[in-house]
Amino acid sequence: MNYFLDALKNYVTFTGRATRQQYWMYILFYIVFYFVAVMLDINLGQYDKENMSGFISTVYTYGLLLPTIAILARRLHDIGRSSWWILLIIIPVIGSLVILIFTLIDSQKEDNKYGVSLKYANTTEADQE
């Protein structure tokens, strides 16, 4: 839960790095809370089956759009990629698959132009091998 709250606190921070764990824990809680929002929409009669959306889930999605983009940008920085790679999502299917693969790649061990490695900053070389 702390990873989700940290991402919300840094909702406009597009600099720095985010580890795989930070990113995927944010995504996990995002999905869980989204399903809760959909359930609330269904129980309140606000869910539209044709559009597969409801008022609460739509507000939730748009409300967390900026924090989601920000943590994705920091995740890409962690593997040494620019935030501009997010635009691959525009390309149907292939773009989303490339972004998915990028989010699964391990952090760069060394520092890069986006900052110090959060995962490997407190470990020695013996720990990394």
- At 68-121, the pLDDT tens digits run 999 999 999 999 999 999 999 999 999 999 999 999 999 998 889 998 888 887
**Would you state the torsion angle of the CA atoms of residues 85, 86, 91, 94, taken in this order, to the nearest 10 degrees?**
70
Are 17 and 29 a contacting pair, CB within 8 Å? no
At residue 126 the predicted structure's pLDDT band, cuts being 50, 70 and 90, is very low
- Quick one: pLDDT at residue 35? 96
- Residue 126 domain-assigned? no
- Quick one: pLDDT at residue 50? 87
Beta-carbon neighbour count of residue 119 at 10 Å? 18
- Residue 115 domain-assigned? yes
pLDDT at 63 over 70: yes
- Residue 128 domain-assigned? no
The vertex-63 CA angle with 32 and 42, nearest 5°, equals 50
pLDDT in tens, 24-36: 999 999 999 999 9
The residue range of the domain holding 81 is 2-119
- Residue 113 domain-assigned? yes
- Residue 127 domain-assigned? no
Structural domains of the chain, count: 1
- Quick one: pLDDT at residue 123? 61
- Residue 85 domain-assigned? yes
- Residue 43 domain-assigned? yes
- Residue 125 domain-assigned? no
At residue 15 the predicted structure's pLDDT band, cuts being 50, 70 and 90, is very high
Q: Which two tokens stand for residue 14?
A: 């597009």
